[in-house]
Structure 1
Amino acid sequence: MPSLFKPGDIMIGGIFPIFNKEISNTIVFEREPGGTVCSFDLRAFRWTQVMIFAIEEINKDPAFLPNVSLGYRILDSCASPTNALRAASTLAAGPQGIESPCPPAISALIAESGSSQSVAVAGVLGPFQLPIISYFSTCACLSNRDKFPTFFRTIPSDYFQAKALAALVKHFGWKWIGAIQSDNDYGRNGIQAFIEEVKKMGVCVAFVGTVLRTYSMSKILDVVEMIKQSSVKVILAFVPEGDFYPLMKELSRQNITGIQWIASEAWITAARPSTPEMFPAFGGTLGFVVQKMAIPDLQSFLRNINPYADPNAAFVRDFWEVMFGCRPVSTGIYTGTNKICEGNETLMNSQDVFFNVTQLRVSYNVYKAVYAIAHALHELVFCQSVDRKPARPCMNVSEIQPQEVTDHIKHVNFRNRFGDSVFFDQDGDPPASYDIINWQLDNGKVQHVTVGQFISTQSGTYKLQIDEKKIVWMTGQMVPKSVCSDVCPMGTRRASIRGKATCCFDCIPCADGTISNSTSVECLTCPEDFWSSRQNDHCVPKKIEFLSYHEPLGICLTAASLLGTFICSIVFAIFTYHRSTPVVRANNSELSFLILVSLKLCFLCSLLFIGQPQLWTCQLRHAVFGISFVLCVSCILVKTMVVLAVFKSSKPGGGANLKWFGSVQQRGTVLGLTCVQAIVCTVWIISASPTPYANTRYHNDKIIYECVVGSTTGFAVLLGYISLLAIISFLLAFLARNLPDNFNEAKFITFSMLIFCAVWVAFVPAYVNSPGKYADAVEVFAILASSFGLLVALFGPKCYIILLKPEKNTRKAIM
């Protein structure tokens, strides 16, 4: 194999794709495929010259390996794993081609550009413990120390590039991404790492098209059709430039535009696709590349490449032909249209990009790889770092073993003359540092403009900086938008579409009680005291409902309560003014006044059921209600008993009964019966006090404030006791219905108790079936209805006689 060769005390090998594989657009299965056809690659040739330049620079530096010279042997791989293996075997065999597999003739190897080639080389030379440093192989698979324990690289792994690409996608809010990979380790592992990263961010990959290293036009058209049919507007191409270029030409030929391309570092700065012809389809492309560096002294070295100086130098003649169009006439003689071909003009006058050393990227990685090996060899030979003045060698150069070189490369850590730190982590990878490149057209040429930076740290975090003002988008000034389904509007949620990616969804309204805003994927449940708005876009406080003084129902009940209280007061005043008249005196005026007072309390206690329930109102409302009604009913009961006793005493032998119904006995009976109810209420409040409660069972969007009785038994005993007294009064009054017509008090009592019992019998089912505030309204209505019934039945006829029929208000009329 032709090689660039220079002997030295320590040999360093190099494998570069000086010639790049050319692939036919058609595959014929009728005959055996021909051999690999390669074309000269100026870019890769410059990489070889950078390696040579760095080695010569180190040999001239007295601080580096004094009295020890570095040699090199550089072979071509033609970007083929097969040729790379052949080159690796050749280097291991030694410069003369004599097989000597242990140890290899070289102490370290700089290889290769393609990841598939590096996998092959590292797999073959790994068992020899030979250190290999790649300058352009980025496949994350090469970080596997179990498989490739001696592999290092000066370019970041695709693991970091995948993180950088995912961070770029996240930054611009792209959710629907297409992907194109090459059918090799670089493409497959790169796309897999990218997909794993973007999945964490909720980004979907619409398709993964594959560009084969050996392909037919039909395969290209399949990928083109996939792009045309998809709705994606952003596509990542994770492919080498040689694989992607035919597809680029077809996309450009069919005028497929409007796509925002994201490029891997393998083709973003390549010269062949960066042409004005490709710009209409690929303008505005974004991608990551390793940071550029300028090596000023390199330019003069490159301009000294001349076949007249060394006619036998490998690859130089090819460089002369491709670079300047010079044709060899005979050994050492060239002809062509350029004066350079005759050697009459130096290369210093050439302004070709080949000689531009201000934006070196991959070449700078080659430069760092050479220096990393040199530092490791220096520390191995002199047992100290380069920055210390060497004494004398601590090891014989001829005794150096590849394993020892590998161990020292692992611990290399130095700062080069450009201020960059060079070291390798536990996986053999350098720290990640990328420039973000944007394709822009300037003066008819495609320019690779730096618009940002991505830097990773040893802690695993990263920093992404983008100057969006510098970016030229293919779609204009606005950032391209790429989504399968647009963001759901507020008040709706995503619903997955069966058989499609998670980024493709329908938007359906949120259920009641849940909301979504512009950033929500799912509907969120409102807090307990809140409910969703009508548009389901935000939570609003639930409506608070209780029997209020401000609503019509509350106003009516309040007015009725105050009216009843006012009437009681008027009746009380009438009875007081006419207290000496026969009608008042004959109706037990003391009990009548006590009944009026109790009725007034009954009317007023209904106000405790109106308004927002508080602890004290919940405790008082039933206690006051129960005691007031017991006081009233017990007075009626005693009054009924007195009426019966009086009329029975008029019969022979009945006078003895009156001694049990004197004023003291009447007051004591009323007080005793009322105290029983007071004791019931006290025990109820102490044992299970009624409390206010925010009820949400009836309506999800309302909070109904009500009083929980606390103890159903207590409430039942309270009502039962009132009912018992009312029934006894009704029965006694019914027994006294046959009293003389002139004295109809018993009939009035009977009628009043009938009304009272009817009201409260109807109250129970109505109360149980009334929700929320209407339960309180039913109870208030029952209180007012029974109170008005007692007031009208007991005091209506008497007031009628006192005010309108005074002639009947005489002793004679009553007797």
Structure 2
Amino acid sequence: MFCPASFSFSSRTNRARMQLIGVYACVGVHVAFLSTLISSQLLEQQACQLIAGPSHLPMVSGEGNITLGGLFSLHDAMTEARLSFDSQPRSAACTGTPLHALRNAVALMGGKEEESGDADCQGRVPVVIGDGGSTLSMVVAHFLGVFHLPQIIPKNHAPAEMSRIVGRISASGARVVLVFALEQDAKALFMEALKHNLTGIQWLASEAWITAAILTTPEFQSILEGSMGFAIRRAEIAGLQPFLLRLHPSTFPNDPFVFRFWEEMFGCSPLNAVNGTLPNKPPCNGSESLANVKNIYSDISQLRISYNVYKGVYAIAYALEAMLKCVKGTGPFPGGTCPDTRTIQPSQLLHYLKEVDFTNEYGEETKFDANGDAVAMYDLINFQLSETGEVQYATVGTFDETKSIKLLIEENLIIWNGNQKKVPVSVCSNSCPPGTRKAIRPSFPVCCFDCIFCAAGEVSNQTDAIECMTCGPEFWSNLQRDACIPKLVEFLSYADTMGITLLAVALLGSFTTLAVGLIFALKRHTPLVRANNSELSFLILSSLWLCFLCALAFIGQPTPWSCQLRHTAFGIAFCLCLSCILGKTLVVLMAFKATLPGSNAMKWFRPPQLRALIFLCTAVQVAICAAWLGLAPPVPHRLMTRESAHIILLCDMGSTLAFSLVLGYIGLLAAVCFLMAFFARKLPDNFNEAKFITFSMLIFCAVWIAFVPAYVSSPGKYTVAVEVFAILASSYGLLLCIFAPKCYIILLRPDKNTKKHLMGKQ
């Protein structure tokens, strides 16, 4: 309950004095209204007076030139009367429902509940102050705003619901909890918290309960010490405390609220009380004085809502003053008209209220924004206990929307829960470090989450990242997943194990080929070497040596020249080798036919003809490779995929068709060689070379048939390794199958390296 404030304002023609007589009501929606008097001859007469309909709540009112309506909270709750709808309901006992708020709002509008009254009567209040609670304000605004505002979710103080909320707070592990609620809701919550012995929680308060008197009792001090929240700005209104201390039932004999207050304060009934006395209250002796009582009523420094009402009444006064100062022809309404001050319309008063901007004697500015909201000004309150155990509301900061620095906090003045100076930490989950992202847990509050390690190729470089960022195409995440680093360039290198192994095998093959060539050169006059066409043998060895060497072009970082050399050298070298083997196979076949009577087949397979055959077969491959290099040559290519940590450096074929033609032509020569050798494998000869050529072609074909699927399915540098392996394997197959038996005879069985042995029958 708060007391009157008085102020004056002037106009061009007269001066008026407005006095706020009194405001009382039940919390939430228990309503009464205040009347404001303008006690001068502002208006010559009233069109009609306020007609108060039958109210089921006590109220006070006063006559005046301009009457303001007010809805204010006084009690904690209201007991609902049972409605039978067959008789008038009984008067409600203060406890609370939106029904009574709406009922009294109708009364403030000047009509009875049963009838709307005279339509021409303009005696309704032009403005209403209150209520302080959001629920009540919205219900009343819904009616007063002609159904333009939504209706507000009813309270639920059921023990089971309170127990569920407290249990969830306890189970979450949170140590700091924000309670956004009215003081009645907060009280119900904290009562349940006491039952569950829920201690050690740092409570953050909404404005509605941080300075609530019902929470200052000793039972709540153990859990609420250190609570923090914003409260409406306070001020010690001049002249208010002396007025309150002079309050006495004899001064206000017709005010039922004064008598009820006196009974509650002193535990006795005033002798002349006629209304509202409580049973079993002894009569007062008359010596009771509010000056001897210390409570929140006498501490005007904490009457924050009263100070807001104080500023609200001043705002209306300034609006009325501006209305009275209006000059005809320059007014804000159509045609430059001014409002009729004899019948003040709420919509017209609202226009002037929107433009109110004044600074009171306490240095605080009052004005409204485009939405009708006042400029936000709050004190940051810390619930502290004095050395004597009394509750103190320490102001530890301010929020002022009119200042450049809106929020100021004096951290050294704050005392946290448990009488601690250290800021409490409350986390359901620890912060996610860089390299991880937050993943919300289903059915848990948003502060509960898991930290998920960023996937490969993604990073987060800040704490509590919501998402991981994908690195660019040329970058990859480091092991910590907190930075993108350049991808490793991957190719078949001389430095890695695979490259070294293939290099060693290729060099071994080339040296072996040279060794075989040396043996054949030293033994070139022996029957075995001469019988196997030494010229073709040396040509085959030379081509095999080139095949081993061309494998080296596949190892190392691809360059334009190495990419072009790789496949063309390989294709031409193998084509030359197979052409020579084909010539050797044909010589074997023709040599047998030449022994038949009348055969002159050998004249077509003399050295000049064989050279022409080899040249022609090789020239076809050279033409294919030349066209390949001229039209779409192989070039280095960087293969980058977001799924890989490496950039694969390889040779792009340039033309898949050309590559296929090169391999296809080699395959064709190999197939012809195999068929020719297969037909000659059983020719009567003590040393039939066709058998070994057949085996070599089997190996060659098997290797390259297996090469195709392996080549297609191998990733990165392994594709190149598969190709090098196929080249080396087929080269070794040709070298060993064709020349190993000859070397065995030449070196280990010289007795078989005779003309007699070679010409002998099997």
Identify the residue that residue 559 of structure 1 maps to in structure 2: 504
Asked if the contact 1:483/1:503 (under 8 Å) is kept, the reply is no
2:215 aligns with 273
Q: Please give the secondary structure, in 2, of the residue aligned with 1:269.
A: coil
Is the CA contact 1:547–1:611 (under 8 Å) kept in the aligned structure 2?
yes
Alignment correspondent of 1:12: none
SS of residue paired to 1:366: helix
Q: What is the SS of the residue equivalent to 2:383?
A: strand
Q: How does 1:420-569 map to 2 (within 5 A)?
A: 420-443=364-387, 444-454=389-399, 466=409, 470-475=413-418, 477=420, 500-501=443-444, 519=464, 549-550=494-495, 552-569=497-514
**Whole-Å Cα distance in 1 between the matches of residues 738 and 30 of structure 2?**
122
Change (3 A) 1:145 1:625: farther
- 1:70 maps to a residue whose letter is R
What is the CA–CA distance in structure 1 between the aligned matches of 2:579 and 2:366, rounded to whole Å?
104
Take 1:356 and 1:520, find their aligned partners in 2: how far apart are those partners? 49
Once the two structures are overlaid, the 10-residue window that deviates more, 395-404 or 594-603, is: 395-404
Q: Cα distance 1:246–1:137, how it changes in 2: closer, same or farther (>3 A)?
A: closer
SS of equivalent to 2:21: strand
1:437–1:614: structure 2 CA closer, same or farther, 3 Å change rule? farther
Higher deviation after alignment, 425-434 or 436-445: 425-434
Deviations 1:463-488 (A, max 9, x none): 66655554333356465666778889
Distance 2:486 2:136 in 1: 54
Which residue does 1:179 correspond to in 2?
A: none
**In 2: Cα distance, 1:574 partner to 1:244 partner:** 105
Please give the alpha-carbon distance, in whole angstroms, between the structure 2 residues aligned to 1:358 and 1:98.
Answer: 34
User: Structure 1 residues 415, 423: CA separation in 2 closer, same or farther (over 3 Å shift)?
Assistant: same
2:623 paired with 1:679: yes
Q: 1:623 to 1:724 in 2, by over 3 A?
A: same
Contact 1:546 1:611 in 2 (8 A): yes
| Structure 1 SS opposite 2:380 | strand
Higher relative contact order structure (alpha carbons within 8 Å, sequence separation ≥ 6): 1
For 2:439 and 2:538, the matched residues in 1 are separated by 73
1:134 corresponds in structure 2 to: 130
Aligned to 1:789: 733
Does 2:381 match 1:381? no
2:583 aligns with one of 628, 638, 643: 638
Distance 1:395 1:809 in 2: 136
**CA pair 120-427 structure 1, distance change in 2 beyond 3 A:** farther
1:415/1:533 CA distance change after superposition, 3 Å: same
Q: Distance in 2 between matches of 1:229 and 1:312?
A: 50
The 3 A distance-change label for structure 1 pair 451 and 249 is: same
The CA deviation at 1:409 is: 1.4
- Change over 3 Å in CA distance of 1:254–1:695 after alignment to 2: closer
**Structure 1 segment 541-690 matched on structure 2, within 5 A:** 549-550=494-495, 552-574=497-519, 588-610=533-555, 620-642=565-587, 658=603, 661-663=606-608, 665-683=609-627, 686=631
CA contact (8 A) 2:527 2:753 kept: yes
- Deviation digits for residues 627-659 of structure 1 (CA, Å, limit 9, x no counterpart): 111111112223444566677668776669637
Residue ranges of structure 2 left out of the alignment (5+ in a row): 39-44, 54-62, 74-96, 111-123, 274-283, 328-336
* Cross-structure match for 1:363: 306
Which residue in 2 is equivalent to 1:287? 229
As a proportion of its length, which structure holds more strand?
1
Q: Any idea what the Cα deviations from partners look like across 1:674-727, whole Å, max 9, x if unmatched?
A: 121233345556469587685989x98988877776776655543332233234
Q: Using a 3 Å threshold, how does the CA distance of structure 1 residues 755 and 96 change in structure 2: closer, same or farther?
A: closer
1:159-207, Cα deviation, whole Å (9 max, x unpaired) = 9xxxxxxxxxxxxxxxxxxxxxxxxx9xx95xx6xxxxxxxxxxxxxxx
Q: Which amino acid aligns with 1:290?
A: I
* Amino acid corresponding to residue 112 of structure 1 in structure 2: L
Q: Secondary structure of 1:287's partner?
A: strand
Do the aligned partners of residues 88 and 107 (structure 1) sit closer, same or farther apart at CA in structure 2, a change above 3 Å counting?
A: closer
Q: 1:357 to 1:550 in 2, by over 3 A?
A: same
| Count of aligned residue pairs for this structure pair | 675
- In structure 2, the residue matched to 1:758 is 699
Query: What per-residue deviation string (whole Å, max 9, x for no partner) do you get for residues 58-115 of structure 1?
Result: 25xxx66763212346354432688635768999x999977499xx955352522349
State the alpha-carbon separation in 2 of the partners of residues 761 and 330 from structure 1: 123
Question: SS state of the match for residue 69, structure 1?
Answer: strand
The percentage of aligned residue pairs carrying the same residue is: 38
* Separation of aligned partners in 2, 1:799 and 1:484: 81
Equivalent residue for 2:57? none
Q: Deviations over 1:760-800 (max 9, x none)?
A: 22542365257526665554344323323333444446656
C-alpha change, 1:300 and 1:476, in structure 2 (3 Å) is: closer
Q: Which amino acid is 2:227 matched to?
A: T
In the TM superposition, residue 510 of structure 1 has moved relative to its aligned partner by 7.8
| Alignment match, 2:115 | none
SS at match of 1:111: strand
- Given the superposition, is the C-alpha separation of residues 73 and 470 from structure 1 closer, same or farther in structure 2, using an over 3 Å criterion? closer
Q: What is the RMSD of the two structures over their aligned residues, measured on CA atoms?
A: 5.8
Alignment partners' CA distance in 2, 1:326 and 1:669: 135
Residue in 2 aligned with 1:68? 15
Q: Assess if the C-alpha contact under 8 Å between 1:90 and 1:97 holds in 2.
A: no
TM-score by length of 1: 0.64
* C-alpha distance 540-300 of structure 1, shift in aligned 2 (>3 A): closer
**Separation in structure 1 between the aligned mates of residue 300 and residue 425 of structure 2, nearest angstrom:** 38
